[in-house]
Chain A
Amino acid sequence: MVAERLAEIVGPAHVLSRQSELLVYNSDGLPGYRRQPRLAVFPGTRDEAIAVVRFLAAERLPFVPRGAGTGLSGGALADDIVVVGLHRLKKIISLDVENRRATVEPGVVNLRLNKHVAPHGLLYAPDPSSEAACTIGGNVAENAGGPHCLKYGVTLNHVLAMTVVLPSGEIVELGSKVGERDGYDLRGAFIGSEGCFGLALEITVKLTPKPQAVRTLLADFTSVDKAAHVTSAIIASGIVPAALEFMDGATIRVVEDSIYAAGYPRDAEAILLIELDGLEAGVVADQETVRRICLDGGARQVRVARDDAERMKLWQGRKKAFGAMGRLAPHLIVQDAVIPRTKLPEILATIHAVSEKYSVMVCNVFHAGDGNLHPNIAYSADDPAESERVHKAMVEIMQACIAAGGSITGEHGVGLDKLGYMESIFSETSLNAMCELRGVFDPERRSNPGKVVPVHACKEWHGIPGSAKSRGAREASPLEAEPSRPIAR
């Protein structure tokens, strides 16, 4: 019945209720986590999206908003509840070149927005490595970062305003297209709320003029430790690179085996990819300083990209590194810890020691400039002993990062994956405050239940109809006994 009502809103082709069709929606970019949704609905217009949310509100049904499903924390997984996919809302509503802003629907792909504004000498700065696939709506939900956020800031710094449909179905405007408003920054609270506060249906973003000059440097090292020290030295010099990225030897070789081979030296144990941008004169001076720091710090050589084509190649290698890990083993887990930059050499040494201890293969590729680590472990989940070792290694790495004064997520969000770490870094008081903030946007806790704040801190699962955890204690959910939609051929 629910499926039929939703089909009346969005059309039968855009509601999925067969188990076999819902399978592909059981995971995101981190398929180690799987949760089977009960239904999936894909509104095609803003009005349809509002109608869907209002219908779900009237039926008191919990749901999970989903963009392109490229997240890396299990954040868009729906455990036996409704997935609301926003990927069909992909219109770029307006582009205001003079005021350097654009208004887009949440399903617009990050790179598509950038291609759309590029002819006007503008760019949308946050550039997650998944930019070719991820959506602006998902970026807002996760407060996405990316290599260039070192200088330009994360999604939060580039979203001016949003039209949001709250889980209750109420429409609110957060932020302002024209500038700062008085009062609390609810826009800031919404960005990074991981789909727990509602759905952004229109997002006005700030566009940034393309820098006059850009230089991309590739420094290669024979040891991870040297590259880590050079990272700290560059930041200590006072220069703010547009991006400062680190890749270790294992990652270099996997990228060089792929279609995105960038010409990184295969025999290096680490490379730093450093981008400098700004006014020509400043960039030239900074380039020389950075080159010297690298060489003094033991770099074998420092190469500067000769043209845009070479620059693109160097960046494509970095950005597709995660996707290339499938060459190593069938399964992959990636972490997203943040540490103080000065602790980089020490933590990298710890990661190495942990990988030896559990005999797992860690590939490090990360945003060194802001200390945002991404250890990747490729393994076979079909081998229970190996899976166990991988799990233990990841926990130990995360604990080391927390002990070093770091945090459990830089840009991927908490989702399901980091739920277990929340209590290690937040007090009960803080977690309760988060629950209260959520209560402002979603008092019924129906939007993306069970994510971000651990269940027993927030008692999230209580009182939510239709969720797996609450069933049994109450009468059958309206979602149960859903008839299968026949497949028209």
Chain B
Amino acid sequence: MPGCALPNTPLAGALPGINACVHCGFCLQSCPTYLNLEDENDSPRGRIFLMRSLLEGTVKPDDASVQLHIDQCLGCRACEPVCPSGVPYGQLLEATRATLYEYRPTPFIARLILFVFAREWLLRPAMFFSRALAATPIPTLLSGIKGRLGFAMAMLASTGRSIERSNYKPVTRGERGTVATLRGCVMEGLFSTTNRATERVLTVNGYSIVGAPGQKCCGALHAHAGHLEDARALARRNIVAFERSGATFIAVNAAGCGAIMKEYGHLLKDDPEWHQRAVNLSARVRDVSELLAAAGPREGGPLPVKVTYDAPCHLIHAQRVNEAPLSVLTAIPGLELVPLHDFDQCCGSAGIYNLIEPDTSDAVLAPKLANIRDTRASWVATGNPGCLMQIGAGLIRAEISARAIHPVDLLDASYAAFGQ
């Protein structure tokens, strides 16, 4: 393009991806914000057009409406698997947010969360406090009040509602290699049961678990918000920690974290010292369901429950992992899997989007809850903490009896039942 208006910005570097868009519009109907807000400024094609216009100089980075429409993107990347020209939308969005970063303040709540997540000495007490609060009846009592506080309380309340299961001792020969797991911030903080279940089911399926001390937050939330340098700093620490573990695979049970870790190579593409190490690390990252599916997974004991599956966007769209979670669920004898209409549509969680853009988030969540209600399932399986809490909170507030659960917890309960 002649005369780039924003030279030497992350957005300028993303020009080849922007140029791949031919404006065909095939992405429009895949976009939850376009379907809900009904304005092309809130569609992938429209946002890419705004990105191009920023570079052309026909709109300015301090333009409030441009910032609004870029902010309103969920980053679900449902537009990517339908794009014939292969526009790397997620990367364009991160580059745009990183470029706009200088021109407008990130909302306070977002800054606070990102600040805490990047610092373990703050994150640990924050998670400890959340966990302690979740263990009291307070979140449940406050989950019905209007607004974001009520929703946040419902999110916390939803974390304590996993499936009951007895203890069992997994045995393994470790024939499938060594695995280090990403503990994750929210996963270890609020879903530690799921993290322990992850280690057990991987063990049962022939993987031997090794530790990776020194690992940090994956950096996904920072990258999505355009705080690319923070994301890179976290990525480098993780690369060191997981390299040192020597594990064949890095298992991730949070789709959002898995997606960014598989893209560390891209994140560090301009860092000659780290790029190759990042690429090598990314190549070893697997969603936990991928590792389990590769092993079968082994059949467990009967678990007569009715389950529906909702695909996390960062699993189905960003990582293109479609079948593996289903094979985890179908490996459970007695489990009845019922299809969920629009299971591949975003639930509106989108990292911390549900706290920053509550109205759009609620609008996107509403049809999801209605579809879940229609299945009459007692469990909604989904493999990402954001989705677990968003759907879980929505179900509590809409007084739908179904509960959100990680697929790994169901498999773990099935193995526990086998031991009895």
What residues of chain A have their CB less than 8 Å away from a CB belonging to chain B? 13-14, 16, 18, 20-21, 23-25, 27-31, 42, 44, 68-70, 87-88, 109, 111-112, 130, 132-134, 255, 257-260, 320-327, 330-332, 382, 487, 489
CB distance from A142 to the nearest CB of B (A): 14
Which residue from chain B places its CB closest to the CB of A317 in the assembled complex? B84
Query: Which listed residue, B25, B40, B66, touches A130 by the CB 8 Å rule?
Result: B25
Cα distance A449–B85 in the bound complex, in angstroms: 33
Which among A21, A31, A320 has the greatest number of chain B C-beta atoms within 10 A? Answer: A21
Cα distance A112–B49 in the bound complex, in angstroms: 25
Query: Which listed residue, B20, B26, B45, touches A320 by the CB 8 Å rule?
Result: B26
Segment with Cβ contacts to A, from B57-65, B273-281, B384-392? B57-65
| CB 8 Å contact bits of B29-65 with A (1 = contact, 0 = none) | 1000000011111010110011001000011100111
| CB 8 Å contact bits of B1-29 with A (1 = contact, 0 = none) | 11000000000000000011111111111
Interface residue B82 (Cβ < 8 Å from any Cβ of A) = yes
> Which residues on the B side are within 8 Å of A255 (C-beta)?
84
Interface residue B300 (Cβ < 8 Å from any Cβ of A) = no
Known: A23-B53, A27-B49. 13 other contacts (CB 8 A): A16-B39, A20-B50, A20-B60, A20-B63, A20-B66, A25-B40, A27-B23, A112-B29, A133-B27, A133-B29, A326-B84, A326-B87, A487-B64
What residues of chain B have their CB less than 8 Å away from a CB belonging to chain A? 1-2, 19-29, 37-41, 43, 45-46, 49-50, 53, 58-60, 63-66, 68-69, 81-87
Pair B24/A23 contact, Cβ less than 8 Å: no
Given contacts A16-B39, A23-B53, A87-B38, contact A133 B68 (CB under 8 A): no
Pair A322/B22 contact, Cβ less than 8 Å: yes
> Which residues on the B side are within 8 Å of A30 (C-beta)?
23
Query: Which listed residue, A87, A133, A330, touches B19 by the CB 8 Å rule?
Result: A330
Query: Which listed residue, B23, B37, B84, touches A31 by the CB 8 Å rule?
Result: B23
Query: Which listed residue, B22, B43, B46, B49, touches A326 by the CB 8 Å rule?
Result: B22
> Which residues on the B side are within 8 Å of A112 (C-beta)?
29
Pair B28/A332 contact, Cβ less than 8 Å: no
> Which residues on the A side are within 8 Å of B84 (C-beta)?
255, 258-260, 320-324, 326
CB distance from B261 to the nearest CB of A (A): 22
Cα distance A259–B26 in the bound complex, in angstroms: 13
Pair B65/A326 contact, Cβ less than 8 Å: no
CB distance from B363 to the nearest CB of A (A): 12
> Which residues on the B side are within 8 Å of A259 (C-beta)?
81-84, 86
Cα distance A382–B15 in the bound complex, in angstroms: 13
Q: Can you identify 19 A-B contacts, CB atoms within 8 angstroms?
A: A20-B50, A20-B53, A20-B60, A20-B63, A20-B66, A21-B69, A30-B23, A31-B23, A42-B39, A70-B24, A112-B29, A130-B24, A259-B81, A259-B83, A320-B84, A322-B84, A323-B24, A327-B20, A489-B68
Which residue from chain A places its CB closest to the CB of B43 in the assembled complex? A24
Pair A24/B85 contact, Cβ less than 8 Å: no
Query: Which listed residue, B37, B49, B82, touches A132 by the CB 8 Å rule?
Result: B82
> Which residues on the A side are within 8 Å of B20 (C-beta)?
326-327, 330
Query: Which listed residue, A14, A16, A322, A487, touches B24 by the CB 8 Å rule?
Result: A322
Closest 5 CB pairs of A and B: A326-B85, A323-B84, A330-B19, A324-B84, A323-B24
Given contacts A20-B65, A20-B66, A24-B40, contact A326 B19 (CB under 8 A): yes
Query: Which listed residue, A16, A23, A134, A323, touches B85 by the CB 8 Å rule?
Result: A323
> Which residues on the B side are within 8 Å of A130 (C-beta)?
24-26
Pair A487/B68 contact, Cβ less than 8 Å: yes
Pair B25/A133 contact, Cβ less than 8 Å: yes
> Which residues on the A side are within 8 Å of B81 (C-beta)?
259
> Which residues on the A side are within 8 Å of B63 (C-beta)?
20
Cα distance A31–B83 in the bound complex, in angstroms: 17
Query: Which listed residue, A23, A133, A258, A260, touches B58 by the CB 8 Å rule?
Result: A23
> Which residues on the A side are within 8 Å of B85 (C-beta)?
258, 323-327
Q: Is the interface of B mostly helix, strand, loop or mixed?
A: loop
Given contacts A258-B84, A259-B84, A489-B68, contact A23 B50 (CB under 8 A): yes
Given contacts A88-B38, A326-B85, A487-B65, contact A382 B2 (CB under 8 A): yes
> Which residues on the B side are within 8 Å of A31 (C-beta)?
22-23
CB distance from B13 to the nearest CB of A (A): 15
> Which residues on the B side are within 8 Å of A331 (C-beta)?
22
Pair A24/B46 contact, Cβ less than 8 Å: yes
Cα distance A134–B28 in the bound complex, in angstroms: 9
Cα distance A255–B85 in the bound complex, in angstroms: 9
CB distance from A148 to the nearest CB of B (A): 19
Cα distance A130–B37 in the bound complex, in angstroms: 22
Pair A21/B65 contact, Cβ less than 8 Å: yes
Pair A326/B25 contact, Cβ less than 8 Å: no
Pair A382/B28 contact, Cβ less than 8 Å: no
Cα distance A132–B24 in the bound complex, in angstroms: 11
Which among A69, A88, A326 has the greatest number of chain B C-beta atoms within 10 A? Answer: A326
CB distance from A478 to the nearest CB of B (A): 23
CB distance from B64 to the nearest CB of A (A): 4
> Which residues on the B side are within 8 Å of A23 (C-beta)?
49-50, 53, 58-59
Cα distance A87–B45 in the bound complex, in angstroms: 15
Pair A69/B40 contact, Cβ less than 8 Å: yes
Pair A332/B83 contact, Cβ less than 8 Å: no
Pair B29/A132 contact, Cβ less than 8 Å: yes
Pair A489/B25 contact, Cβ less than 8 Å: no
Cα distance A18–B25 in the bound complex, in angstroms: 22
Pair A323/B22 contact, Cβ less than 8 Å: yes
Cα distance A242–B37 in the bound complex, in angstroms: 38
> Which residues on the B side are within 8 Å of A20 (C-beta)?
50, 53, 59-60, 63, 65-66
Pair B53/A14 contact, Cβ less than 8 Å: no
Which residue from chain A places its CB closest to the CB of B60 in the assembled complex? A20
Given contacts A24-B49, A130-B25, A132-B29, contact A382 B68 (CB under 8 A): no
Which among A14, A23, A42, A321 has the greatest number of chain B C-beta atoms within 10 A? Answer: A23
CB distance from A17 to the nearest CB of B (A): 10
CB distance from A324 to the nearest CB of B (A): 4
Given contacts A258-B86, A259-B81, contact A29 B24 (CB under 8 A): yes
CB distance from A27 to the nearest CB of B (A): 7
CB distance from A40 to the nearest CB of B (A): 9
Cα distance A265–B41 in the bound complex, in angstroms: 39
Pair A323/B26 contact, Cβ less than 8 Å: yes
CB distance from B148 to the nearest CB of A (A): 15
Which among B26, B41, B59, B87 has the greatest number of chain A C-beta atoms within 10 A? Answer: B26
> Which residues on the A side are within 8 Å of B40 (C-beta)?
24-25, 69
CB distance from A225 to the nearest CB of B (A): 28
Which residue from chain A places its CB closest to the CB of B30 in the assembled complex? A132
> Which residues on the B side are within 8 Å of A325 (C-beta)?
22, 85
Which among B2, B23, B27, B81 has the greatest number of chain A C-beta atoms within 10 A? Answer: B23
CB distance from B297 to the nearest CB of A (A): 26
Cα distance A20–B81 in the bound complex, in angstroms: 28
Cα distance A327–B63 in the bound complex, in angstroms: 31
Query: Which listed residue, A16, A21, A25, A29, touches B25 by the CB 8 Å rule?
Result: A29
> Which residues on the A side are within 8 Å of B41 (C-beta)?
16, 21, 24
Cα distance A27–B58 in the bound complex, in angstroms: 14
Pair B19/A68 contact, Cβ less than 8 Å: no
